[in-house]
């Protein structure tokens, strides 16, 4: 059985004071939630805050981006080993906002994925189609291409130490969630794609759904066979909503 994971993606939100209140409430609430994994992916400057507040709690933490480079003259970049210094367990790679707003292509995403793994951090690899792509009937083609880029570069065994997140672009921050059936269909496709290379790895890899997950729709999404939790944007900024989503993932 795959243990469910609910990861918050704070994006570029928060400040020291509001984060502290949010982290306090999440850490306290997680004491009463069992049988699932919980994490928050915070902006870089708040990693020390997450580390000091969350160490020795049930909540893991991580970052939202990482450099593909190990070190050097890369102004503004943050390396995987720097994330390790602040106790990161996870890092999001290939989020659609980074792909579209910051020009990250499949090979950059694969390089970031490998940089994270090289430092022992679990990458959360995001894939997902735009509305136009869905309406053109090429959803499978798009997500398979995004997944294959990483499988080709890193090898299928790498998926044993990673998480996949299916995030349809049209569902992110729009309030328009994929139906559980729509999400399950793509999750099954992704798992089958990994299974073509290694069935054992495919059975173990967690595939999260992301895109307007809320307290009210989490349980029906998480009930699907291939949905192993969620990557949560907006609702991860409201402690009670985030905790309700974590509760829906309890084993
Ligand atoms: P959302 O974002 O939950 O606000 O739709 C999800 C994400 O972008 O990871």
The per-residue pLDDT for 92 is 99
Q: Which residue has the higher pLDDT, 251 or 220?
A: 220
Whether residue 13 has pLDDT greater than 90: yes
Pocket flag, ligand 1, residue 62 (CB < 6 Å)? no
Whether residue 96 has pLDDT greater than 90: yes
Instruction: For residue range 171-228, list pLDDT tens digits in order.
Output: 998 988 899 999 999 999 999 999 999 999 999 999 999 999 999 999 999 999 999 9
Work out the mean pLDDT of the chain and round it to a whole number.
97
Q: How far does the centroid of ligand 1 lie from the alpha carbon of residue 211, in Å?
A: 5
When pLDDT is averaged across residues 84-104 and rounded to a whole number, the result is 98
Pocket flag, ligand 1, residue 173 (CB < 6 Å)? yes
Q: Which of 5, 10, 212, 237 to mutate to test the pocket of ligand 1 (most atoms within 8 A of CB)?
A: 212
Pocket flag, ligand 1, residue 64 (CB < 6 Å)? no
Annotated catalytic, 135? no
Pocket flag, ligand 1, residue 96 (CB < 6 Å)? no
Instruction: For residue range 27-72, list pLDDT tens digits in order.
Output: 999 999 999 999 999 999 999 999 999 999 999 999 999 999 999 9
The per-residue pLDDT for 75 is 98
pTM over 0.75: yes
Nearest ligand 1 atom to the CA of 126 is 9
Confidence band, pLDDT 50/70/90 cuts, at residue 9: very high
3-state helix/strand/coil string of the chain:
CCCCEEEEECCCCCCHHHHHHHHHHHHHHHCCCCCCEEEEECCHHHHHHHHHHHCCCCEEEEECCCCCCCCCCCCCCCCHHHHHHCCCCEEEECCHHHHHHCCCCHHHHHHHHHHHHHCCCEEEEEECCCHHHHHCCCHHHHHHHHHHHHHHHHCHHHHHHCEEEECCHHHCCCCCCCCHHHHHHHHHHHHHHHHHHCHHHHHHCEEEEECCCCHHHHHHHHCCCCCCEEEECHHHHCHHHHHHHHHHCCC
Instruction: For residue range 147-181, list pLDDT tens digits in order.
Output: 999 999 999 999 999 999 999 999 998 988 899 99
Annotated catalytic, 95? yes
The per-residue pLDDT for 175 is 87
Instruction: For residue range 134-149, list pLDDT tens digits in order.
Output: 999 999 999 999 999 9
Superfamily the domain 5-55+71-248 falls into:
Aldolase class I (3.20.20.70)
Stretch among 108-112, 222-226, 247-251 having the lowest mean pLDDT: 247-251
Whether residue 251 has pLDDT greater than 90: no
């Amino acid at each position: 059985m795959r243990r469910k994971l609910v990861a918050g993606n704070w994006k570029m939100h928060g400040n020291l004071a509001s984060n502290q209140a949010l982290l306090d409430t999440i850490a306290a609430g997680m004491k009463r939630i069992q049988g699932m994994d919980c994490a928050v992916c915070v902006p870089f400057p708040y990693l020390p805050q997450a580390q000091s507040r969350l160490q020795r709690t049930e909540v893991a933490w991580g970052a939202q981006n990482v450099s593909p480079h190990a070190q050097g003259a890369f102004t503004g970049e943050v390396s995987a080993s720097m994330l390790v210094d602040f106790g990161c367990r996870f890092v999001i790679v290939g989020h659609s906002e980074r792909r579209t707003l910051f020009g990250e292509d499949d090979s950059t995403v694969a390089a970031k994925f490998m940089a994270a793994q090289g430092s022992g951090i679990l990458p959360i690899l995001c894939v997902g189609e735009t509305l136009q792509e869905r309406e053109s009937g090429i959803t499978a083609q798009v997500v398979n291409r995004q997944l294959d880029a990483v499988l080709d570069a890193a090898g299928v065994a790498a998926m044993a130490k990673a998480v996949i997140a299916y995030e349809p672009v049209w569902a992110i921050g729009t309030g328009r969630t994929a139906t559980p059936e729509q999400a399950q269909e793509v999750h099954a496709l992704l798992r089958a794609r990994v299974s073509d290379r290694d069935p054992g790895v495919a059975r173990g890899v967690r595939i999260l759904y992301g895109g307007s997950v809320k307290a009210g729709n989490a349980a029906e999404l998480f009930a699907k066979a291939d949905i192993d939790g969620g990557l949560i944007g907006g609702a991860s900024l409201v402690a009670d909503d985030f905790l309700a989503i974590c509760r829906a993932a309890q084993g």
